Structure 1
Amino acid sequence: MKIAFLTPEYPHAKTGFSAGIGTSILNLSKGLLQLGHQVTIVIYGQDQDETFTDAGLTFYKIKNRKLKGFSRILTQKKIQKQINDLVDKGEIDIVEAADWTGITSNINLKCPLVIKLHGSDTYFCHLDQRPVKFLNKFREKKALQKADAWLSVSQYTATVTKELFALPNDFTVIPNGIDLTDFSVAEMKNTTAENTILYFGTLIRKKGLLELPLIFNEVYKQNKQAKLVLIGRDAADITTGNSSIWAMMQPLFDTAAFQNVTYLGSVPYDQMKMHINASTVCVFPTFAEALPVSWIEAMAVQKAIVASDIGWAKEVIDDDVNGFLVNPKDHQTYAKKINALLENASLRSQIGSAAQEKVRQKFSIEVVARQSAAFYQKLIK
C-alpha cells in the first residue's frame, strides 16, 4: 500500500518543531516501512514548498497561503491539489489526517480519508474546562463527518469525542506505538542516578506542571536527597496569559526543595532516551492527554512511573502492576508513591520490567503497524 499522512508537524530537522502527533506518525511510519509499505508525509504550515526524501520516506512540505480572510481555505485547496495529483500519479492509496482543528473540513480527496483522534482542540478544551472557539469546533466536526473512516489512539478519547460532537461514528482504537529498538536497555550504559525524578514533555498547565512543584515539595520533606529534572519546551499559560509556565512554577517550590530542581529546556529527540535512562523514576501528573507517547517511552526503558489516574491512563498503565496512577491534585499520595519507588530498588525493577513487557505486547511499532495496515487495507478494498 501507499499511505500518506497529512500533518501539521513531524520531528525532522527540515520541518520544525514537533510534539506528540508528529512523534506518533514517525513511529508508525517506521513500522509501515518495515512491513513493505510506501509512506508519504504531507506537512503543512511550513516555511517553504519543498519535496525531499529521507529514511525511506517522501516528504512534501507545504507553505500556507496567506490572504486576509481566505488563508485557510486557500491552504486547504493547495493541500487538496497536492494530494490528488499524487493520487492520480499512483503515489497515494489512502490518507490519514489528525483531528486537530479539522484541516480536512474543506478538502475533497480522490482516495479514502481516515481521521485519527489524537485529541482535537474541542477535546482538550473540554478536559481543561475552558470554552472552545466556535469555528474550531465547527471545523473539527465537519472534518470528522466527511471522513471515510475513523481511528482513535484511545477508547477514552473516542468516547469523549463522540459525545462532544454528537457523532454516530464508531471509532477503531489503535494506540500510539514506539520503536523498541530505539529504547533498548541493553545498549545503554547503567547510568541511573539515585533519587532522580524526571518529567519530560511540554511545560504546560494541562500536563499538571503547576501541580508538580507542590508534589515535589512533599517528596522533599521525606527525602532531602530527591532531585527533580524537567525537560521540555516552556509554554505560555492559556488561563492567565502568562508567557512562561516555568516562571509560574518557580515560586510554588519551597525554597530548600527548589535547590534540587533542574530545568534543562528542550533536548534533541535522539538524546531523550539517555535522560530517561539516567532517571530513577518518571512522573506525568497530566490532566489532558489522548494517549501519551512519553509514558510509553519511559516504560520501554523499564522505568517505574507515577502518572495521572485520569481517563486514558488505565489504557496505558495497570495500577500497581506496571506503574502507579494517582490524581495529580492529591499531592501527598502522589509524593508517597514517588518516595516508595525512590527507596525500593526491588520495587522499581519489578514495576519497570512489567512496564516494558506491557509496551512490547501492546505498543510496539510492529503490533501497531500491523493493526493499522489491516485497517487501511480493509478500507481500500
Structure 2
Amino acid sequence: MKILFIHQNFPGQYKHLAPTLAAQGHQCVALTLRVKEPTTWKGVRVIPYGIQRKQGQGVHPWVQDFDTKVIRAEACHVAACALRDRGFTPDIIVGHHGWGETMFLRDVWPTARIGLYCELYHLSGADHTGFDPEFQSKTGEAEKLRIRLKNLNNLVHFDVADMGISPTQFQASTFPDEWRQKISVIHDGIDTDHLIRNPAAQLTLPDGSTLTREDEVITFVNRNLEPYRGYHIFMRALPRLLKERPNAKVLIVGGDEVSYGARPPKTKGQSWKQIFIDEVRGRIPTPSWDRVHFLGRIPYDQFVSLLQVSRVHVYLTYPFVLSWSLFEAMSAQAAIVASSTAPVVEAIRHDETGRLVDFFDGDALVSEVCDLLDDADARERLGIAAREYVRGNYDLQTVCLPRQLDWIQRLHDTTPGRVHD
C-alpha cells in the first residue's frame, strides 16, 4: 500500500503505527509542519510544507478558528498537489483533521480512501462548555452559536472521511450519529512493557534532593496547568492536603501555557499557574510550601520515574479529551484519585482501578488522597488492578496496534466515499 500521513506535528498519534506499516513494506509518506527539510524517520518519508498566508484582518472572532484551519488546509493542499505532480498517488490517507490540513485532499486524490483521527466534536450543553460555572463565557446565549461555528472544520470533513478512529468511547460519542457510525474506538496505545512498577525508582528534583518509593509523594500532571485539567481544584486543595500530610512531597508537572479552553484574564497579566499560586499561597506556611515542587515540562524518562515514585497520583479533567498520562500512571501501577467525569469513568472504576471524586469537591479529593496514603494495602490492590486493566484494554503491542493495523486494512478495502461495514 501507499499510505500518506497528515499531521501538523507528525508523528503525533501515529508514532507507532507509521513505522510499523513502513517496516511491513508499505510505502509511507508524511506531510507535516514539524520539519523544515525533507527527511526519513523510521522508514517514513517526511515532507515539510509551509504556511505562507497570514490570518485575515477583520475576521469575525467566531470564525477565526476556522480561518486558521482553512489557511493550513490551503498550505497542505499546495504540498499535496506538488506530491501528486511528482507521481505519488496514495491508496489511503490517514490524518488528524483537527487543524484543518486534510480538508481539500479529496480534491487532490479522489480515489484515495481517507481515514481521520476524530478527537472531539464540540458540544455546548451543560456537561461540556457549561461544565465549570466559574469559567463561563461572557457572551451568554451567543456562546452556543460560537461553539456551533467551531465545528465548521468537523462539518466540512464529514464528506471527506471514509472512516474515522477515536481513542475513547466518550470522544467518539460527541460526534453526530451520521458520522459516529464511521468511527472505530481504538486507543493510541500504552507501552506497558516500559511503564512498569519499579521499586528501585528514583527522581532527582531541581534542588538536588532525590525521591524514592520510600517517600510520601503525591503527583499531578498536565500538559499545561489550566482549569480544563482541574489545576484550580488541585491548588485549592493544597492548603488542607499539606496540613494533613506534614511529610508529603507534592510534584506538579505542566507548562505555563494554555492547551485547552480560555486564556487567563488579560487584566491579571499572569498564567493560570501563577493565578492559583497567588490565590492559595497566603494560606500555606513557607515550610509547607517548600514541599511543593513545580517541575514544568520534563523529559519522558523523568516523567516515567515520577510515576514510579508516586504514592498517590491525582488526575482531574473536564469532560474532554482524555490524557495519555492517566493510562501511563495506571500502567506504572500508581494508586489514582481521579475526577468522576467522562471519559475518566471508562478507565477508573471507583475502588476497583482507582478512587473517584466529584471534580469540584476539593475536600473529597483530599480525603481520598489521605485515605490511600494511610492504606498501603488499598494502594497495592488498586495499583495492580489499574495495571491489569490497562494491559487488557490499552496495551500498545497486544491490543491497540493490532486493532489499528486492522483498521488500516479495512480502510484500504472500503469503497471511497462509503462507510465500511
Relative distance call for 1:40 and 1:271 in structure 2 (3 A) is farther
Instruction: State the alpha-carbon separation in 2 of the partners of residues 29 and 226 from structure 1.
Output: 42
1:231 aligns with 2:253: yes
- Unpaired runs of at least 5, structure 1: 12-21
Pairwise CA distance, 1:207: 0.5
Residue deviations 1:287-325 (CA, integer Å, cap 9, x gap):
143232110111111111111211111222222111122
Name the % identity: 23
Task: Note closer, same or farther for the CA distance 1:225–1:267 as it changes in structure 2 (3 Å cut).
Answer: same
What is the TM-score when the length of structure 1 is the normalising length? 0.84
Matched, 1:197 2:218: yes
Alignment map for 1:312-323 (pairs within 5 Å): 312-323=343-354
Secondary structure in structure 2 of the residue aligned to 1:118: coil
Cα deviations by residue, 1:180-213 (Å, 9 ceiling, x for unpaired): 2332435963632522111122212201111111
Comparing 189-198 with 324-333, which one deviates more in the overlay?
189-198
2:394 to 356, 363, 379: 363
Partner of 2:46: 59
Please tell me the residue identity of whatever aligns with 1:63: G
Q: What letter matches 1:211 in structure 2?
A: I
Q: Deviations over 1:135-167 (max 9, x none)?
A: 54212211133211122111111222227xx75
The match for 1:251 is: 278
The verdict on how the C-alpha distance between 1:360 and 1:297 changes in structure 2, with shifts beyond 3 A counting, is same
Once residues 280 and 258 of structure 1 are traced to their aligned partners in structure 2, the CA distance between those partners, rounded to angstroms, is 19
Instruction: Give, in angstroms, the shift of residue 265 of structure 1.
Output: 0.8
1:89 equivalent in structure 2: 88
**Is the CA contact 2:335–2:382 (under 8 Å) kept in the aligned structure 1?**
yes
> What per-residue deviation string (whole Å, max 9, x for no partner) do you get for residues 66-92 of structure 1?
256484453132243256468x436x4
Alignment: residue pair count:
364
Distance 1:38 1:346 in 2: 51
Which whole-Å CA distance do the structure 1 matches of 2:304 and 2:272 have between them?
24
The structure-2 alpha-carbon separation of the partners of 1:124 and 1:289, relative to structure 1 and needing over 3 Å to count, comes to farther
2:411 alignment partner in structure 1: 379
Amino acid at match of 1:146: V
After superposition, the Cα gap between the structure-2 partners of 1:79 and 1:328, relative to the gap in structure 1 and judged at 3 Å, is farther
Q: Is the 8 A contact 2:73 2:103 kept in 1?
A: no
TM-superposed CA distance for 1:116, in Å, is 1.6
CA RMSD of the aligned region, Å?
Answer: 3.0
Aligned partner of 1:14 in structure 2 is none
Q: Specify the alignment match of 1:337 in structure 2.
A: 368
* Aligned-partner Cα distance in 1 for 2:23–2:386: 25
**Alignment deviations for residues 307-349 of structure 1 (CA, whole Å, 9 cap, x no partner):** 1211111222222111122222011111111111212222111
Match of 2:119 in 1: 118
Distance (Å, rounded) in 2 between the aligned partners of 1:283 and 1:377: 38
- Rg larger in 1 or in 2? 2
Aligned residue identity for 1:315: E
How has the CA–CA distance of structure 1 residues 336 and 40 changed in structure 2, closer, same or farther, with 3 Å as cutoff?
Answer: farther
SS at match of 1:76: helix
* Contact persistence 1:102–1:142 (CA under 8 A): no
Query: What one-letter code is carried by the residue in structure 2 that aligns with 1:89?
Result: F
- TM-score by length of structure 2 reads 0.77
Looking at structure 2, the residues matched to 270 and 82 of structure 1 have their Cα atoms a distance apart, in angstroms, of 39
- Higher mean C-alpha displacement, 2-11 vs 124-133: 124-133
Q: How does 1:216-365 map to 2 (within 5 A)?
A: 216-236=238-258, 237-238=262-263, 240-241=265-266, 242-253=269-280, 254-256=283-285, 257-365=288-396
Gaps of 5+ in 2: 57-69, 131-136, 138-142, 203-211, 414-421
Determine if the alignment matches structure 1 residue 171 to structure 2 residue 193. Answer: no
Secondary structure, aligned partner of 1:180: coil
Instruction: Work out the CA distance in 2 between the residues paired with 1:31 and 1:184.
Output: 23
Q: Deviations over 1:199-242 (max 9, x none)?
A: 12221220111111122233223222222211121124525245
Q: Distance in 2 between matches of 1:335 and 1:229?
A: 15
In the alignment, the residues of structure 1 paired with residue 158 and residue 127 of structure 2 have an alpha-carbon distance, to the nearest angstrom, of 17
- Report how far residue 29 of structure 1 moved: 4.0
CA distance in 2, matches of 1:373, 1:231: 33
State the match for 1:7 in structure 2: 7
With over 3 angstroms needed to count, the CA separation of the structure-2 counterparts of 1:211 and 1:135, relative to structure 1, is same
Provide closer, same or farther for how the CA distance between residues 31 and 289 of structure 1 changes in structure 2, counting only shifts above 3 A. Answer: farther
**Distance in 2, Cα, partners of 1:238 & 1:276:** 29
d(CA) in 2 for partners of 1:34, 1:316: 32
Match for residue 103 of structure 2?
105
Is the 1:28–1:365 Cα contact (8 Å) retained in structure 2? no
Which has the larger helix fraction?
1
CA distance in 2, matches of 1:5, 1:181: 27
198 and 74 in structure 1: CA distance in 2 versus 1, 3 angstrom threshold:
same
Contact 2:239 2:284 in 1 (8 A): no
Task: Tell me if structure 2 keeps the 8 A contact 1:306–1:338.
Answer: yes
Specify the alignment match of 2:194 in structure 1. 182
